[in-house]
Amino acid sequence: MHRFTPLRIALAVATAAAVMGTGVAFAGGSSDAARPADAARPADAGRAATPVAADVSGATELVQGFIVGYKSQAAEAKSNEAAVKDARAKAGKAGEPVSFERRLGTGAALVELPEADKVQDAQKVAAAFLADPDVAYVVPDRRVYATAVDPAEYSYQWDLYETTAGMNVPAAWEQATGKGVTVAVIDTGIAKHSELSSKVLPGYDFISHTWTANDGGGRDNDPSDPGDWLKRGECGKDKNGNPVPARDTNSGWHGTHVAGTVAAAANGYGTVGVAHEASILPVRVLGRCGGTTSDIIDAITWASGGTVTDVPANKNPAAVINMSLGGKFTCDQAYNAALKGARDRGATVVVSAGNDNTDAAAYSPAGCANVITVAASDREGNRAAYSNYGKVVDVTAPGGENNVRDADGIWSTLNTGTTTPDKEKYASYQGTSMAAPHIAGLAALLKQKNPSLTPAQIEQTIKNNTRALPGTCSGGCGAGLSDADKALTAVTGG
């Protein structure tokens, strides 16, 4: 029996709350509440984001930038020079410094507030943009975090094969293994591991802030995970004035663990991924203290084959994207635009529901349109105690739970380094971060079996071929517990 010293991923839950405005309001805080129907996506009725007015009186971190969407006829929608001039004009109206930072892959403009030190400063800037008839939306550039919790020691992959609450994956391998399918893991990047090295395609590091990146620079073509260890309080303070994180934390190697669940190669030892012959496209967006939605929006666009200014073209567009991350705010127009673009380009986007035992509608991207939102189950088939739930959840998959038994987590690839990368190893984590890559792997199996399947068809196939949770689920666990073999059997080859 393998035994490993567990690492703990310390998750800050603070995110930037949205800013109150007029005209187009902001969705903020932690709720992804009810979403009106998206006519283009019958399987996801209730998912389209509607802006909800909110203020920043309860903000847990200061808004330092906005994503501004201009109407298509506006000069600022096409010209960076015009956007720069507009930022200067808005700075004059608001009486606060405002600078155009860059154009996002969706066409929206990222503007920064370099000297904003009060909520009111951000409100004035937002009001200046919202008063402009050429502006379609303004949303905060928020911070999001990985969604894994409480790792444990563990050596068996019960999540794949146990009859009680496993996902019935070995039977599915008789039909597909993920060969020829690219899965993008938008996460912390990836550490070297023998079970992953043969699977990894050239990815990209989208973290634009040097301190967050922790690798000596900003954006570049190296998506390696240098580590995300933190000292107490390095991410600031929460709304109660407590330091974030509350204590020193080690590097978590979150993206490496997620990638292993998707596609670990099974080299005769260690782990095997759900789609163990798929390729992994590592896309780094999370570093020290998480990552920003502006960077994630560009990563979604690039991973799915879209164009991002000053970033080389992606030669391996992903058919499936996994995002085991989230922030406590209602999905906004900027996020939705990126996710819709990815889906329109043919990418199935799978996201984690979140780990706060509350309505997933309060979180993004869990509450966004054009995604498959995944809740987590434990080894007995109950909704895991930490897992978010609700109407926005599409399906449930094994996420593990270590509170009763250490052996009940999700075992996957990891690294021994407490700060910087060291030797490879395996370890057990729990979280909706672990549940989502099970579904991303299943989507890859379906795509291999029938390459003509659209993201909507893949989602519906997964949802139509679940089984009832053998345990209990309060609050809503979507269509049920995913069954890989049932889903593969339901489709014919392309």
Q: Give every CB contact of residue 22 below 8 A, 6+ residues apart in sequence.
A: 127, 130, 131
Q: Give every CB contact of residue 199 below 8 A, 6+ residues apart in sequence.
A: 259, 263, 265, 278, 279, 280
Task: Given the residues 187, 228, 356, 408, select the one marked as catalytic.
Answer: 187
Distance CA 282, CA 221 (A): 10
Which pair of tokens denotes residue 403? 């509170």
Beta-bridge partners for 237: 243
Note if 279 is an active site residue. Answer: no
Note if 433 is an active site residue. Answer: yes
Note if 198 is an active site residue. Answer: no
* Phi and psi based region of residue 142 (left: phi greater than 0; alpha: psi -120 to 50; beta: remaining): beta
Judge whether 425 and 416 are in contact, CB under 8 Å.
Answer: yes
Task: Given the residues 30, 31, 324, 433, select the one marked as catalytic.
Answer: 433
Full DSSP string of 143-169: EEEE--EEEE-----HHHH-TTTS--H
> How would you label 239-271 residue by residue, b for 16+ Cβ within 10 Å and e otherwise?
eeeeebbeeebbbbbbbbbbbbbbbbbeeeebb
Distance CA 64, CA 115 (A): 8
> DSSP class of residue 291?
E
Q: Give every CB contact of residue 187 below 8 A, 6+ residues apart in sequence.
A: 146, 254, 255, 258, 259, 282, 283, 284, 285, 286, 322, 323, 324, 325
Question: Could you count the other beta carbons within 10 Å of the beta carbon of residue 416?
Answer: 15
Distance CA 308, CA 221 (A): 13
Distance CA 467, CA 341 (A): 31
Distance CA 341, CA 50 (A): 18
- Closest by CA to 335, choosing from 303, 373, 374, 366, is 366
The single-letter code of the amino acid at 273 is G
Task: Given the residues 193, 208, 251, 254, select the one marked as catalytic.
Answer: 254
Distance CA 78, CA 239 (A): 38
Distance CA 322, CA 432 (A): 12
Beta-bridge partners for 104: none
Which residue numbers are catalytic? Answer: 187, 254, 433
